[in-house]
Structure 1
Amino acid sequence: MPFQLSEVVPTQIERVVRATGVVAGSLVVGWLLNRLLFGLLARYARRERAFVAQSVVEHLSRPVSWFLPVLVVSFTLPLTLLDSQALEVARRLVETALLTTFAWCLILALDVVQDLVQRHYQITDADNLRVRKLFTQLQFVKKLAASLIAFVAVALVLMSFATVRKIGTGLLTSAGIVSVIVGFAAQRSISNLLAGFQIAFTQPIRLDDVLVVEGEWGRVEEITFTYVVLRIWDERRLVLPLNYFIEKPFQNWTRTTSQLLGTVFLYTDYTIPVEAVRSELRRIVEGNALWDQRVCVLQVTDSKERTLELRCLVSASNSSRAFDLRCEVREQLVRFIQEHYPTSLPKTRTLTEPTDHPFAPAPAATE
Structure 2
Amino acid sequence: MLVIAAGSIVAAFALNRGAEFAARRLAPRQPARTPLPLLRACRRPLQLAIASGLLLGGESWARFGPATQRAVRHFLVLLALASCAWLAARLVALLIDTSVRFSVRRQDPSRVRRVRTQAGLLRRICQAAIALVTLGAMLMTFPAVRTLGTSLLASAGLVGVVAGVAAQSTLGNLFAGVQMAFADMVRIGDVVVVGGEWGTVEELTLTYVVIATWDQRRIVMPVSYFAGRPFENWSRNDTRITGTALLHLDHSAPMADLRAHFETLLAKTELWDGQGSAFQIVDTTPSTIVVRALMTARDGGDAFNLRCYIREELIAYLRERHPYALPRIGLAPAPDGGRPTDLHGRP
Work out whether 1:24 is the aligned partner of 2:12: no
Q: Tell me the alpha carbon deviations over residues 193-241 of structure 1, each in whole angstroms, 9 at most, x when there is no partner.
A: 1111211111221111111112211011111111111111111100001
Q: How far apart, in 1, do the equivalents of 2:211 and 2:164 lie?
A: 30
Change (3 A) 1:218 1:197: same
Change (3 A) 1:117 1:218: farther
Q: How far apart, in 2, do the equivalents of 1:254 and 1:122 lie?
A: 18
What residue ranges of structure 1 are gaps of 5+ in the alignment? 1-18, 356-367
Which SS does the other structure have where 2:220 is aligned?
strand
Q: How far apart, in 2, do the equivalents of 1:123 and 1:343 lie?
A: 57
Q: How far apart, in 2, do the equivalents of 1:288 and 1:307 lie?
A: 29
The Cα shift of 1:85 comes to 4.0
Q: Look up the equivalent residue of 1:341 and give its one-letter code.
A: H
Moved more, 52-61 or 225-234: 52-61
Does the 8 Å CA contact 1:44/1:53 hold for their aligned counterparts?
no
Q: Partner residue of 1:80?
A: 62
Does the 8 Å CA contact 1:265/1:309 hold for their aligned counterparts?
yes
The Cα shift of 1:297 comes to 0.2
The Cα shift of 1:52 comes to 3.5
Equivalent residue for 2:179, pick from 180, 198, 217: 198
Does the 8 Å CA contact 1:41/1:54 hold for their aligned counterparts?
no
Change (3 A) 1:175 1:42: closer
Q: How far apart, in 1, do the equivalents of 2:183 and 2:274 lie?
A: 32
Q: How far apart, in 1, do the equivalents of 2:93 and 2:290 lie?
A: 54
Q: How far apart, in 1, do the equivalents of 2:237 and 2:332 lie?
A: 54
Change (3 A) 1:124 1:210: farther
Q: Tell me the alpha carbon deviations over residues 94-134 of structure 1, each in whole angstroms, 9 at most, x when there is no partner.
A: 11111101111121223323443554467998x51111111
What residue ranges of structure 2 are gaps of 5+ in the alignment? 337-347
Q: Following superposition of structure 1 onto structure 2, how do residues 1-367 of structure 1 map, counting pairs within 5 Å?
A: 19-38=1-20, 40=21, 44=25, 48=29, 51-52=33-34, 54-117=36-99, 119-120=101-102, 127-352=108-333
Does the 8 Å CA contact 1:55/1:112 hold for their aligned counterparts?
no
Change (3 A) 1:56 1:143: closer
Q: How far apart, in 1, do the equivalents of 2:203 and 2:47 lie?
A: 31
Q: Tell me the alpha carbon deviations over residues 52-82 of structure 1, each in whole angstroms, 9 at most, x when there is no partner.
A: 3623443212222322221221222222244
Identity of aligned residues (%): 33
Does the 8 Å CA contact 1:260/1:315 hold for their aligned counterparts?
yes
Does the 8 Å CA contact 2:97/2:119 hold for their aligned counterparts?
no
Task: Give me the TM-score of the superposition, normalised by structure 2.
Answer: 0.88
Q: Look up the equivalent residue of 1:79 and give its one-letter code.
A: W
Q: What is the Cα-based RMSD across aligned positions, in Å? A: 2.6
Which SS does the other structure have where 2:42 is aligned?
helix
Bigger Rg over Cα: 1
Task: Give me the TM-score of the superposition, normalised by structure 1.
Answer: 0.83
Does the 8 Å CA contact 1:45/1:53 hold for their aligned counterparts?
no
Change (3 A) 1:42 1:174: closer
Which SS does the other structure have where 2:274 is aligned?
coil
Q: How far apart, in 2, do the equivalents of 1:222 and 1:52 lie?
A: 24
Q: How far apart, in 2, do the equivalents of 1:41 and 1:338 lie?
A: 72
Q: How far apart, in 2, do the equivalents of 1:197 and 1:47 lie?
A: 33
Does the 8 Å CA contact 1:30/1:71 hold for their aligned counterparts?
no
Does the 8 Å CA contact 2:283/2:289 hold for their aligned counterparts?
yes
Change (3 A) 1:123 1:215: farther
